[in-house]
Amino acid sequence: MLSPAAMKIVDWLGEVGSRWGLPPDACRVQGLLFLMARPVLQDAIEAELDMTSSQAGDALTWLAKERLAVSGADGWTTQADPWLLVMQALESRRARELAPARAVLATWHSPSPAEDPIVVRQARLLRDLVDDLAAIDTGAQRLSPDAMRRMVSIGGRAARFVDKAFGRRSGS
């Protein structure tokens, strides 16, 4: 079904997904469905991705639950592009990491007077960073996935323009 080059994309999506807290098999299946852009039967998914029936079933169940894939008479399809997986990953990380980080750093609103002033300054910098990320997250949750995609696209184009106009910074 897919060429070796296309399979590298599918495998890469699985690797990236696992680093972002998503099920790697589900990311690989979603990548396959996205690239194929037509219905694919579960047994064909299993064969193409060298998965057991259980692995493919679990991946498809997760994708269906997240509304990223749909089962039809002709097989599984996705209307979702990988952007929705990115949004799912961000939501997963936000839920796991943002609240605990804010809880740990909240004590630095009123640190102990005995605390080293340098440590206070540095901890407050971290607290401010996490608070800024939380504010960005709150604002981003108000936007549709399409609006977020457009914002990221505009930012990417602006970054490429700056690279072309002023050259890349060393180390990047």
What is the chain's pLDDT, residue by residue, as a tens digit (172 residues)? 899 999 999 999 999 988 888 899 999 999 999 999 999 999 999 999 999 999 999 999 999 998 889 999 999 999 766 777 777 777 777 878 888 999 999 888 888 999 999 999 999 999 999 999 888 888 877 887 778 778 888 888 888 888 888 887 766 5
pTM for the complete prediction?
0.65
For position 55, what pLDDT does the model report?
Answer: 98
> Pick from 43, 151, 135: which is nearest to 87 by CA?
151
For position 170, what pLDDT does the model report?
Answer: 66
For position 159, what pLDDT does the model report?
Answer: 84
For position 42, what pLDDT does the model report?
Answer: 98
Burial (0-12, 13-18, 19+ Cβ within 10 Å), 13: buried
